[in-house]
Amino acid sequence: MIEIFLAIALLIAFTILLSLYRAVLGPGVFNRVAAVSVIGTKTIVLLVIIGYYFERPLFFDISLLYAILNFIGTLAFAKYLERGEVWS
């Protein structure tokens, strides 16, 4: 039963590899920012699965923190690209 989680984690790592195509190639900066936000979202799930598989309950707190950081990072990017400055 616990091996199913490892298979899911490998499939998620494969989708991260697929979305790197859009992060490298995507014409313009907006496609790249969207792809990096997607990679951040998948990292959160990967952290939770790895923490559950190796029986380390500390990883759930780390994934909560990284969710907040990813959100603020994407918002800062969007603000800078729209106005030219982040803090007026």
Partner 1 sequence: MVVIDVIVTFFLAAGIFFMFTGVIGLLRLPDFYTRLHATGKCDTLGEVLIIVGLLLDHIYNYVYLLPEAPLSVKLVPVKLIFLIVFIFLANPTATHAIMKAAYKTGVKPWKKGDARM
CB 87, min distance to partner 1, A: 16
- Name, in order, each residue with C-beta under 8 angstroms of 33's C-beta and a sequence gap of 6 or more: 74, 77, 78, 81
- CB of 63 closer than 8 Å to CB of 47: yes
Q: Mask of contacts with partner 1, 26-55, x by CB under 8 A?
A: -xx-xx-xxx-xx--xx-xx--xx--x---
The sign one gets for the Cα dihedral 84, 85, 86, 87 is: negative
CA 28 – CA 6 distance, rounded (Å): 35
Answer for which of 3, 22, 24, 87 binds partner 1 (CB under 8 A) is: 22
Q: Which residues are at the interface with partner 1 (CB under 8 A)?
A: 1, 4-5, 8, 11-12, 15, 18-19, 21-22, 27-28, 30-31, 33-35, 37-38, 41-42, 44-45, 48-49, 52, 57, 60-61, 63-64, 67-68, 70-71, 74-75, 77-79, 81-82
